[in-house]
Amino acid sequence: MEAMTTPSTELIVAIEDAAAASRTPIWKRLLRDPQFVVTASILVVIFLLGILTPLLTQHGPNDADLSMVNAPVGTPGYPLGADETGRDIWTRLLHSINTAAISAIIGAGVALTVGVIAGLIGGYFGAVTRASTEWLFSLIMTFPGILLLIILMPVTGGDYRFTMLIFGVLLSPGIYRIVRNLVVGVKNELYVDAARVSGLGNLRILSRHVLFVVRGPIIIAAAFMAGSAIAVQSGLAFLGVGSLQIPSFGAMIASGFRNLYIAPTQFLWPSLMLGVITASLVLLGNALRDTLEGSKPTPVKVGAGQKVAADGVAKAHASGALLEVTDLGIAYRGPSGQPREVVRGVSLSIARGQVVGVVGESGSGKTQTAFATLGVLPPEAVITRGSILFDGQELVGLTDAQMRPLRGKAIAYIPQEPMSNLDPSYRVGSQLVEGVRSALGLSKREAKARVIALLERCGIADPQRTFDSYPHQISGGMAQRVLIAGAVASRPRLLIADEPTTALDVTVQAEILDLLRDLQSELDMAVLLVTHNFGVVADLCDGIVVMQKGEVVEAGPATEIFQNPQHDYTKMLLGAILDEGSVRADAPAAAPAEGILR
Amino acid sequence: MMISYILRRLGAGLILAVLVTFITFLLLSTSFEDVAKTILGQSATPEATAALMQTKGWDRPLIVQYFDWLAGAVQGDFGVSVYTSLPVGPTVVQRLLVTLSVIVPALLITVVVSVVLGVWAASRGGLADRISQGISLVGYIVPGLLLAIGLVVVFAVRLKWLPATGYTPFSEDPAAWARSITIPVIVLTIGGVANMAAQVRGRMIDELRRDYVRTLRTRGVSTTSIVVRHSLRNAASPALTVMSLEFIQMFGSALIIENVFALPGYGSFAFNASLQGDIPVIMGITAFGVLLVTVVNLLTDLANGWLNPKARVH
Amino acid sequence: MSLLEITDLRVSFPGRGWRAKPVEVLHGVSLDVAHGETVGLVGESGSGKTTIGRAVLGLLKPSGGTIGFNGETISALAPRQRRRLAKDIQVVFQDPYTSLNPSLTVGDILAEPLVVQGATGKDARARVRTLLDQVGLPADAAERLPREFSGGQRQRVAIARALAPQPKLIVCDEPVSALDLSTQERVLDLFIDIQRSTGVAYLFISHDLTVVRHISHRVAVLYRGDLVEMGPAAQVTSEPAHEYTRKLLLAAPVADPSLQRERREARRNLAAA
The three-class DSSP label of residue A503 is coil
Closest CA to A178 of A222, A144, A135, A136: A222
Cα A384 to Cα A332: distance, rounded to the nearest angstrom: 10
Cα B115 to Cα B95: distance, rounded to the nearest angstrom: 30
Q: Are residues B150 and B35 in the same domain?
A: no
Sign of CA dihedral A458, A462, A468, A471: negative
B44, B74, B104 - which closes a domain: B74
Closest CA to C29 of C20, C38, C39: C39
The three-class DSSP label of residue A526 is strand
Query: For residue A506, is pLDDT > 80?
Result: yes
Q: What is the pLDDT of residues A437-460, one digit of tens each?
A: 888 888 999 999 999 999 999 989
Strand partners, A413: A496
Among residues 558-577 of chain A, which lie with CB inside 8 Å of chain C? 558-559, 562, 572-574, 576-577
Query: Which residues on chain A are in Cβ contact (under 8 Å) with B99?
Result: none
Q: Are residues B187 and B102 in the same domain?
A: yes
Given an 8 Å threshold on Cβ–Cβ distance, is A144 in contact with B201?
no
Classify residue B297: in a domain, yes or no: no
Average pLDDT, chain C: 90
Classify residue B68: in a domain, yes or no: yes
The three-class DSSP label of residue C38 is strand
Backbone angles phi, psi at A53, to 5 degrees: -50, -50
Per-residue pLDDT of chain B (314 residues; tens, 9 = 90+): 678 878 887 887 788 788 888 888 887 777 777 777 777 777 777 887 788 777 777 778 888 888 888 888 888 788 788 778 888 888 888 888 888 888 999 999 998 999 888 888 888 878 888 888 888 888 888 888 888 888 888 887 777 777 777 777 777 777 888 888 888 899 999 988 988 888 888 888 888 888 999 999 888 888 888 888 888 888 877 777 778 888 888 888 888 888 888 888 888 888 888 877 788 888 888 888 888 888 888 888 787 777 776 655 44
Chains contacting chain C through 3 or more C-beta pairs under 8 A: A
pLDDT band at A594 (very low <50, low <70, confident <90, very high): very low
Closest CA to A408 of A390, A372, A381, A432: A432
Q: What percent of chain A has pLDDT over 90?
A: 35
Query: Which residues on chain C are in Cβ contact (under 8 Å) with A505?
Result: 44-45, 207
β-strands A494-498, A323-333 pairing = unpaired
pLDDT band at C39 (very low <50, low <70, confident <90, very high): very high
Number of domains present in the structure of chain B:
2
- The answer to whether A97 touches A270, Cβ cutoff 8 Å, is no
Given an 8 Å threshold on Cβ–Cβ distance, is A538 in contact with C255?
yes
Q: Which CA distances in Å does B231 have to A270, A427, A593, B213, B228?
A: 44, 15, 62, 8, 6
Q: A301-312 as b/e, with b when 16 or more CB fall inside 10 Å?
A: ebbebbbbeeeb
Among residues 210-269 of chain A, which lie with CB inside 8 Å of chain B? 231-232, 234-236, 238-241, 250, 253, 257, 260, 267
Query: For residue A17, is pLDDT > 70?
Result: no
Classify residue B128: in a domain, yes or no: yes
A-chain residue closest to C89, CA distance: A197
Cα B174 to Cα B197: distance, rounded to the nearest angstrom: 30
Q: What is the pLDDT of residues C115-149, one digit of tens each?
A: 888 888 888 889 999 999 999 999 888 988 888 88
Q: Which CA distances in Å does B92 have to B35, B87, B106, B285, C19?
A: 20, 9, 21, 6, 41
Given an 8 Å threshold on Cβ–Cβ distance, is A139 in contact with B121?
no
Classify residue B191: in a domain, yes or no: yes
Among A307-316, A515-524, B127-136, C3-12, name the one with the lowest average pLDDT.
A307-316
Query: Which residues on chain A are in Cβ contact (under 8 Å) with C87?
Result: 199
Q: Which CA distances in Å does A194 have to A58, A185, B97, B258, C144?
A: 63, 15, 57, 56, 19
Q: Are residues B260 and B168 in the same domain?
A: yes
CATH number for position B217: 1.10.3720.10
B74, B106, B133 - which closes a domain: B74
pLDDT band at A318 (very low <50, low <70, confident <90, very high): low
Report the 10 Å Cβ neighbour count for A319.
12
Q: What is the pLDDT of residue A369?
A: 93
Given an 8 Å threshold on Cβ–Cβ distance, is A400 in contact with B286?
no
Cα C215 to Cα C196: distance, rounded to the nearest angstrom: 12
Does the model's ipTM exceed the 0.95 cut? no
Q: Are residues B109 and B215 in the same domain?
A: yes
Given an 8 Å threshold on Cβ–Cβ distance, is C161 in contact with A509?
no
- The answer to whether A369 touches A360, Cβ cutoff 8 Å, is no
Q: Are residues B155 and B9 in the same domain?
A: no
- The answer to whether A110 touches A172, Cβ cutoff 8 Å, is yes
Crossing angle between the packed helical segments A34-51 and A265-292, to the nearest 10 degrees: 130
Q: What is the pLDDT of residues C227-267, one digit of tens each?
A: 999 999 989 988 899 999 999 999 999 988 999 999 999 99
Closest CA to A141 of B265, B258, B106, B20: B20
Q: Are residues B103 and B243 in the same domain?
A: yes
Classify residue B211: in a domain, yes or no: yes
> What is the layout of strands, in order, in the sheet containing C201-206?
C89-92, C169-173, C201-206, C38-42, C218-223, C226-232
Q: Does A424 touch chain B (CB under 8 A)?
A: yes
pLDDT band at A598 (very low <50, low <70, confident <90, very high): very low
Closest CA to A124 of A27, A209, A249: A209
Q: Which residues make Cβ contacts (< 8 Å) with residue A385, sequence separation at least 6? A: A309, A312, A313, A314, A327, A328, A329, A345
* Angstroms from A74 CA to nearest CA on chain B: 25
pLDDT band at A339 (very low <50, low <70, confident <90, very high): confident
The three-class DSSP label of residue C172 is strand
Cα dihedral B111→B112→B116→B121 (10° resolution): -20
Classify residue B111: in a domain, yes or no: yes
Region A106-123: mean pLDDT is 90
The secondary structure of residue A207, as a DSSP letter, is I
Cα A319 to Cα B164: distance, rounded to the nearest angstrom: 77
Q: What is the DSSP string of chain B?
A: -HHHHHHHHHHHHHHHHHHHHHHHHHHHGGGHHHHHHHHHGGG--HHHHHHHHHHHTTTS-HHHHHHHHHHHHHTT---B-TTT--BHHHHHHHHHHHHHHHHHHHHHHHHHHHHHHHHHHHHH-HHHHHHHHHHHHHHHHS-HHHHHHHHIIIIIIIS-SS-SS----TTT-HHHHHHHHHHHHHHHHHHHHHHHHHHHHHHHHHHHTSHHHHHHHHTT--HHHIIIIIIHHHHHHHHHHHHHHHHHHHHHHHHHHHHHHT--SHHHHHHHHHHHT-HHHHHHHHHHHHHHHHHHHHHHHHHHHHH-GGG---
pLDDT band at A295 (very low <50, low <70, confident <90, very high): low
Query: Which residues on chain A are in Cβ contact (under 8 Å) with C208?
Result: 506
Q: What is the DSSP string of A293-362?
A: S-PPPPP--TT---EE-TTTB--PPP-S-SEEEEEEEEEEE-TTS-EEEEEEEEEEEE-TT-EEEEEE-T
Q: What is the pLDDT of residue A590?
A: 60
Query: For residue A502, is pLDDT > 80?
Result: yes
Among C185, C238, C248, the residue with its CB nearest the CB of A506 is: C248
Among residues 509-528 of chain A, which lie with CB inside 8 Å of chain C? 509-510, 513-514
Query: For residue C37, is pLDDT > 50?
Result: yes
Query: For residue A593, is pLDDT > 70?
Result: no
Query: For residue A39, is pLDDT > 50?
Result: yes
∠ CA C214-C215-C216 to the nearest 5 degrees? 110
Cα A317 to Cα B244: distance, rounded to the nearest angstrom: 60
Strand partners, A555: A545
Query: For residue A19, is pLDDT > 80?
Result: no
β-strands C23-33, C4-13 pairing = antiparallel
Q: Which CA distances in Å does A286 have to A222, A293, C211?
A: 12, 10, 50
Q: Does A585 touch chain C (CB under 8 A)?
A: no
Query: For residue A41, is pLDDT > 90?
Result: yes
* Biggest CA pair distance of chain B: 86
Classify residue B198: in a domain, yes or no: yes
Q: What is the pLDDT of residue A129?
A: 82
Q: Does A536 touch chain C (CB under 8 A)?
A: yes
Give the up-direction half-sphere exposure of residue A388: CA atoms within 13 A in the CB hemisphere: 22
Strand partners, C203: C39, C171
Q: Are residues B66 and B100 in the same domain?
A: no
Q: Cα B30 to chain center, whole Å?
A: 28
* Angstroms from A155 CA to nearest CA on chain B: 6
Classify residue B277: in a domain, yes or no: no
Q: Which residue type, as a one-letter code, is found at position C117?
A: Q
β-strands A381-390, A323-333 pairing = antiparallel
First to last CA, chain B: 8
Query: For residue A42, is pLDDT > 80?
Result: yes
B-chain residue closest to A272, CA distance: B146
- The answer to whether A328 touches A343, Cβ cutoff 8 Å, is yes
Cα dihedral A18→A23→A27→A30 (10° resolution): -40
Query: Which residues on chain C are in Cβ contact (under 8 Å) with A182?
Result: none
First to last CA, chain C: 41
Closest CA to B265 of A150, A79, C228: A150
Among A7, A204, A559, the residue with its CB nearest the CB of C257 is: A559
Q: Are residues B36 and B131 in the same domain?
A: no
Q: What is the pLDDT of residue A97?
A: 92
First to last CA, chain A: 36
Q: Are residues B59 and B157 in the same domain?
A: no
Q: Helix/strand/coil (H, E, C) string of A344-382?
A: EEEEEEECCCCEEEEEECCCCCHHHHHHHHHCCCCCCEE
Helices (H), A240-264: 249-258
Cα A73 to Cα A81: distance, rounded to the nearest angstrom: 4
Q: Are residues B29 and B113 in the same domain?
A: no
pLDDT band at A5 (very low <50, low <70, confident <90, very high): low
Burial class of residue B284, CB neighbours in 10 A (0-12, 13-18, 19+): buried
Closest CA to A506 of B262, B178, B179, C249: C249
Q: Are residues B177 and B232 in the same domain?
A: yes
Average pLDDT, chain A: 85
Region C164-171: mean pLDDT is 93
Region A497-505: mean pLDDT is 91
Range of the domain at B30: 2-74
Cα A391 to Cα A313: distance, rounded to the nearest angstrom: 17
Query: Which residues on chain A are in Cβ contact (under 8 Å) with C34?
Result: 588
Q: Are residues B258 and B169 in the same domain?
A: yes
Q: What is the pLDDT of residue A3?
A: 44
Cα C37 to Cα C26: distance, rounded to the nearest angstrom: 23
The pTM of this model reads 0.83
Q: What is the pLDDT of residues A357-393, one digit of tens each?
A: 999 988 889 999 999 999 888 888 889 888 899 988 8
Region A313-323: mean pLDDT is 72
Q: Which residue type, as a one-letter code, is found at position A96?
A: S
